[in-house]
Structures are given as structure tokens and as C-alpha cells.
Structure 1
Amino acid sequence: MKHVIALDVGGTGMKAALVAADGTLLHEARRATGRERGPDAVVETIQDFAAELLATGRERFGRAASAAGVAVPGIVDADHGIAVYAANLGWRDVPLRALLTARLGGIPVALGHDVRTGGLAEGRIGAGRGADRFLFVPLGTGIAGAIGIAGRIEAGAHG
């Protein structure tokens, strides 16, 4: 069955899923982020978790995931796949997309900011669907917001 890996990295925990092409949830999993072990350990934990999800897809559905999408907190350069800075995770300039692409055997990996990515999903398939404008404010280890206007998420003055 064709599917993708979805991975949301938070300040204290990670939530993940394998999702079918039609949006059906096939598998869910959670892990602690482990930020108390330092930024390098967090990056390794993310890679290990993604690799486990890839293996789960192969075992359960007879094929590897087609792609992976990873959402992380902090400042993100989505165009270049860089987790630029996250105060709560202690990292700077982590080439996370390249690291994950290599770890996952070359499947395409998208990297995005957690709140902008969540806002985009909410606007496309959640409570914001069909609304011309909406505000998405998730509460977790931190707090942030995303503004949806005309089907896209505003990047803000500084990205």
C-alpha cells in the first residue's frame, strides 16, 4: 500500500504516523524527544524514529514509504531543509532534510516549521477547510500561531 511518513517533533515529544495516499491513518507512534540528552542526541532520535517508521511500513504494507514529511519547532529554512535554530532543542543549522534523506534510503523528505505545517494541514483538511481566513494556535511545550489566508499560510515578516 502506498504511504508516507509524517513526523512532528516537539519540545518534549514526537508524534508520527504512516498515512495512505487517500489520507487514511495506517499507523501511529510516539517517542520522547529526549532534549535533556542534548541537540546531537535529539537529531539521532529523530533519525532513528524515522527509520523505525520506514521499517514498519515495509513490514506491514510490503513497501517502503514514498516520502516523509517532518515538522520541527524553531526557525526553519524549508527551502534548504535546514533546522536553523530551536531554543528548546538546543540546535543550530542542522541539515535535517539531508540527514533524513540519507538515513531513509533516498526517499524524498520535506522539512517544515511545526506550526506553519500544522496550520496548512488544518486549512486543507481540518477545521479551517473552506475558510478564507483562519488562525491556528497550538499549545504545547511552546506557543505560536499561523494565519491562513486564501489557502496559504502567511510566512510573516521574517519567515
Structure 2
Amino acid sequence: MPRLVAALDVGGTSVKAAVYEPVPGGLRQVSGLRRPTARGGDPARAVADQAGKLIRELTESAGPLAAAGVVVPGIVDEHAGVARFSANLGWRDAPLRELLADRAGVPVAFGHDVTAGGLAEYRIGAARGFTDAAFVPVGTGIAAALILGGRPHRAGGRAGELGHLDVGHDLVCGCGAIGCLEAVASAAALARRYTDRSGRAADGAREVMAAAANGDPDAVAVLDDAVAALGDGLRQLVTLLAPEVVVFGGGLFGAGEGLLERVRRRTAERLTFQRMPELRRAELGDEAGCLGAGLLAADLVGVSS
């Protein structure tokens, strides 16, 4: 039986794809490629068609595959094999696992991109060695992959919406609610709020963080709000689920320990009886989702290290 597995991480703008070989302690990349995400009148079929072509391309370059893992964004019900909703990709209740199975030519593991990233960080990244963990990528939005008792907690794709906890402000979120963490602490929110406050356009959250480090009062205020909101959101997460470790991903936390240390202090200040989790930066970068898809594929057919 072949030991190689394919992995596809489908994003709103591009697809990351790779072939991995399971090795002791993780996965070794054999080959990889990126392509713009396919679009079409039926977006689910367009993505499934593209996935089938990419899997064939990877087979031609790397050799026979045991299985493939495909992960997508949005609300995903892995148990049913259905992508319930994705604003970026434009589908609703798409039977993606069935569509992929018809095109892949190998067994397909289908999953959610953030959950797959969390699984990778849990098994081969910053959360390895823990039993209960949360992986929190902070980007355009804020989500959480929850690993409880060593197993992903999904609730039909509805669990882990950390970005929509109410942290007590009066801003309207893109979801329509008021007070959501995502509306003040996502990378997109930092840039947007700085532009609104200062009248000067910010080219992303890192520019705001750099301005804050240089003493820009508007940037300092916006970053202070984000840190306070993240600490308050973590307090709610810790109170309900008590993860041993919280791993932060996304470019916002990739620049160094400074922001993480501020969030750590804010969280500790807000706890009374709750267990303070270990807070760590992600180790796997933007490859986490693809690695997680590879792990799902290997698990599906029992190909292990």
C-alpha cells in the first residue's frame, strides 16, 4: 500500500497543496504547489474539480497516494461531509465530501481548515504533549479550534466561534451582533479602527503595531483595546473549557513575544479561580492547515509513522 498522502488547504484566494510522507514525529513534505482558488457558477463543483486535478498532478509528480485530505473554510459539518456555509467561497450546504470522492481517485478525508490547523499544532506543533488545547488564529477574523480530551470538538461545525464572544464594547460586528471580540481584536479590525480613528490609512495590522511601538497615540489606543478584548475573550474561554494551552496563530502574533506577553498579563489579571493556560505562539505558520489535512488523510487509511 502506498504511504504517501496528499493534502489540500482551500482558501478564499489560493489553494495550498502538498504530498507528505508520514515519518516519526510528523510528516515530511515530498512536494508542494499553490494555485489560485477556482471560481465558477457552482463554486463547490469548481473547487471539487480543481481538487481532483491537483491530486492527479501531485500523483504524477510524487507517485501513488494512499489518500488525500481536503480542508475548507467556513462552517463545515465533517460528520455529514457538508460545507454548510462560506462567505468567501460562496457556497451553502455543499456536499463537498461526495463531490471530492467522485473526483479524487483515492480515499478522501474532508475537514475544516482551522480545526485541521489546530490538529497539526496539537500533534506536531506548539500544543503537543497537552490533552486540552485551543488553537486561535487571528487574521481577518478570529476563530478557535478546540481539542478536548485529545479529540477535536466540532458540534457539527458550530463550535469554536471565539471571535463572536461579547467582550463588552458598542461596535457592530460583521455578523450583526454588538460587542464581538472580532470587531476590535482581529487583524482586520486593528487596521480598520486605526484608519477610522486617525484618518490615516493603515496597510494592515503590522503597520498599526509598528506605529504603536513608535508611540503613535492612535495606534496605542487601538492596540490597547485589542489586548484588553483578547484577554477578556480568553477569560470566557478558560472559564468554560479550561484548556491547558492556547496557541495563537496568524501574522499578528508572528512578529515576536511582545503582544503575546501583553495578552498573557491581561488574561491573568482577569482570572480569579480559573486555571491560567499556557499561552504560546504557533510553530507551523501558514502550513498548519495543509499539515492538518495530511494528518487527516493518514488517519483515514491508517498510514502512520
- Tell me what 1:127 maps to: 126
**Cα distance change on mapping 1:33 and 1:62 into 2, 3 Å:** closer
Unaligned runs of 5+ residues in structure 2 are 160-305
Could you say which structure has the greater relative contact order, defined with CA pairs below 8 angstroms and 6 or more residues apart?
Answer: 2
Correspondences of 1:6-155 after superposition (within 5 Å): 6-22=7-23, 23-34=27-38, 37-38=39-40, 40-41=42-43, 43-57=45-59, 59-63=60-64, 65-105=65-105, 107-155=106-154
Larger radius of gyration: 2
**Aligned-residue offset at 1:141:** 4.5
SS of residue paired to 1:137 = strand
**Matches of 1:139 and 1:103, distance apart in 2:** 33
**Matches of 1:9 and 1:143, distance apart in 2:** 18
Question: Given residue 42 of structure 2, which amino acid in structure 1 is its aligned partner?
Answer: D
**Aligned-residue offset at 1:134:** 2.6
**Matches of 1:144 and 1:9, distance apart in 2:** 17
More strand per residue: 1
**Matches of 1:118 and 1:84, distance apart in 2:** 19
User: RMSD of the TM alignment (CA)?
Assistant: 2.3
Q: Percent identity?
A: 48
User: C-alpha deviations, 1:110-158, integer Å up to 9, x for none?
Assistant: 1111111111121011111002333212244543111223322222594
| Native 8 Å contact 2:146 2:153 kept in 1 | yes
Question: Given residue 27 of structure 1, which amino acid in structure 2 is its aligned partner?
Answer: S
Aligned length: 154
**Cα distance change on mapping 1:50 and 1:19 into 2, 3 Å:** farther
**Matches of 1:39 and 1:141, distance apart in 2:** 25
TM-score, normalisation: structure 2: 0.46
TM-score, normalisation: structure 1: 0.82
**Cα distance change on mapping 1:3 and 1:150 into 2, 3 Å:** same
More helix per residue: 2
